[in-house]
Amino acid sequence: MINIAIDGPSGAGKSTVAKAIARKIGFIYVDTGALYRAVGINALRLGYDTSDREKVVSTLDSVKIDLRYINGEQRVLLNGEDVSDAIRLPEASMAASNVSAIPEVRAFLFDLQRQLAAQNNCIMDGRDIGTVVLPNADIKLFLTASPEERAARRHRELIERGTPVDYDVLLEEIKQRDYNDSHRAIAPLKPADDAIIVDTSGNTLQESVDNVLEIIKSKIDIPNV
Ligand code: DC
Per-residue confidence at 25, pLDDT binned at 50, 70, 90?
very high
C-alpha 135/C-alpha 111 separation (Å) is 14
Which amino acid residue places its CA nearest to atom 4 of ligand 1? Answer: 33
Which amino acid residue places its CA nearest to atom 13 of ligand 1? Answer: 33
* Range 106-130 average pLDDT: 95
Tell me the CA–centroid distance for residue 35 and ligand 1, in Å: 8
Would you put residue 202 in left (φ > 0), alpha (ψ -120 to 50) or beta?
A: left
CATH number, span 3-219: 3.40.50.300
Per-residue confidence at 221, pLDDT binned at 50, 70, 90?
confident
pLDDT of residue 161: 86
C-alpha 179/C-alpha 165 separation (Å) is 21
**What are the helix and strand counts (H, E) for the chain?**
8, 8
pLDDT tens-digit map of 190-210: 999 999 999 999 999 899 999
Tell me the CA–centroid distance for residue 34 and ligand 1, in Å: 7
pLDDT of residue 222: 80
Tell me the CA–centroid distance for residue 128 and ligand 1, in Å: 9
pLDDT of residue 90: 82
* Range 134-161 average pLDDT: 94
Per domain, the residue ranges of the chain are: 3-219
